[in-house]
Amino acid sequence: MSSVLSDAHLTEGMRSVFVELLVHGPLSRAEAARRLDLSPSAVTKLTKPLLQNGYLLHQPSGDRSMMGRPSQPLAVDPARAALLGVKLTEDELFAVRTDLRAEIQHELRRPLLSHAVDDVVTRIGEAVRDLTGSGQPPAALGISLAGTASGGDPVVPTSPFLGWRDVPLGDLVAAATGLPVVVENDVRALTAAQQWFGAGVGRHSFALVTVGAGLGCGLVIGGRLVSAAGRGTGLVGHLSIHDNGPLCELGHRGCARAYASSAAVRRAVASTLDRSDLTFEACLALAAEGQPAARRIFEDAGHALGQVVATVANITGVQLVILSGEAVAMYDVCAEAFDAALTAHTHWTSTPVDVVVKPFTFSEWARGAAVIALQHRILGR
């Protein structure tokens, strides 16, 4: 696959310098050299072609408030290339156009009219056209969705919400748009965005746990996004919490999903209060107002989430867990139960794990898809 930087001949060394500047820049030559364990003259040599073709630029040193006078820090020119990201849900499509540093420039949201593959490909094609307009053609398109997709494979093996099996989505969209396309599991894509441009920057290892229609978990271990084609990773939804708890739709008694998914919480509140009209947001409002049953149901959800986060940290050793997802707003009403479960289930020899709560937006998930496209184009994987 040719690279996003395809007009330059990209060596492994050039890639490393580019990624370092993209994620941590602007950096002085000396600092980039120190971080990459290279000599400053090697950095000069590696960055020369990237400066020539405009992917890097010299940042005017006056921009930075630093002691001393840094000699022309190097930075990526974010405007040098654009990326597109699309996140598919059960009934909608969210798409963004970003710059090279994954800053969102435009976004749009469209209903999916059906789950028929051709229809979805058509909708993606329309979104691509609308986001491209008469501007610079994007370098690549990332598509993220729930299921067992894994970057590099254009085929989606299973996507439960869309009812898909073995759909060659990547090839179909590539044919329809003429763009290089990367398809990835949505939680892994969001994890990639956190790794390069979010709370995971500078962390060797971390996990992202999401709560929404289901529970998800993405992992970065040893600086790499963990992927397991065919098996999936971070499958925490059916972790057993209480063996006398409520059922999930697969018949597991008391699994994490049966406590903490937005649908499970909504069903539990609606049924306890005999109010089938309640939305998840209305349930959340009731809990926030102190309605005791609603409160307890959210506390049970918080307990399950805390146990999930502790289990992930115990097994993988991550010291940071980012919490997000469509239903992450529940954290506000169940933080105490979450913290108590996290503490109770953290292994007694471990230091406490850091938890960062990221408010949810669908644009953020679409941005994750753009970052996956960027990583594949730059790293050539």
Nearest CA to 292 among 277, 317, 271, 273? 273
Token digits for 339? Answer: 């913290």
Give whichever of 44 and 314 is closer to a second copy, judged by the CB atom. Answer: 314
Smallest gap from Cβ 162 to a second copy, in A, equals 14
For a second copy (CB under 8 A), the number of binding residues is 46
Minimum CB separation of residue 352 from a second copy in Å reads 9
Are residues 106 and 180 in contact, defined by beta-carbon separation less than 8 angstroms? no
Q: Which residue in 237, 246, 302, 325 binds a second copy (CB under 8 A)? A: 237
Output phi, psi for 80, to 5 deg: -70, -25
What is the full DSSP assignment across 31-68? HHHHHHT--HHHHHHHHHHHHHTTSEEEPPGGGS--SS
Angular region, 322: left φ>0, alpha ψ -120 to 50, beta rest: beta
C-beta closer to a second copy: residue 177 or 185: 185
Burial 140-153 (b: 16+ CB within 10 A, else e): bbbbbbbbbbbbeb
52 binds a second copy (CB under 8 A): no
Residue 49 CA: distances (Å) to CA of 11, 14, 34, 125: 11, 9, 20, 34
> Of the ranges 81-89, 136-144, 190-198, 242-250, which one interacts with a second copy (CB under 8 A)?
242-250
Stretch that binds a second copy, among 7-15, 76-84, 342-350, 368-376 (CB under 8 A): 342-350
Query: Is 1 a residue that touches a second copy (CB under 8 A)?
Result: no
Question: Which phi and psi angles does 145 have, rounded to 5°?
Answer: -160, 155
- Residue 145 binds a second copy, judged by CB under 8 A: no
Q: Is 243 in the site for a second copy (CB under 8 A)?
A: yes
- Check binding of 312 to a second copy (CB under 8 A): yes
The closest alpha carbon to 188, from 239, 142, 141, 227, belongs to: 227
* Closer by beta carbon to a second copy, 147 or else 368: 147
Per rule CB under 8 A, is residue 158 in the interface with a second copy? yes
Q: Is 227 in the site for a second copy (CB under 8 A)?
A: yes
Return the structure tokens found at 325: 């997802």
Cβ neighbours of residue 379 closer than 8 Å, sequence gap 6 or more: 15, 19
Nearer to a second copy, 230 or 290 (CB): 230
Q: Within 206-225, which residues bind a second copy (CB under 8 A)?
A: 217, 219, 221-222, 224
CB closer to a second copy, 74 vs 236: 236
42-50, 101-109, 273-281, 304-312 -> range binding a second copy (CB under 8 A): 304-312
26 binds a second copy (CB under 8 A): no
Does 231 interact with a second copy (rule: CB under 8 A)?
yes
Which residues would be at the binding site for a second copy (CB under 8 A)?
A: 147-148, 158, 160, 205, 217, 219, 221-222, 224, 226-228, 230-244, 250, 307, 311-319, 345, 347-351, 353
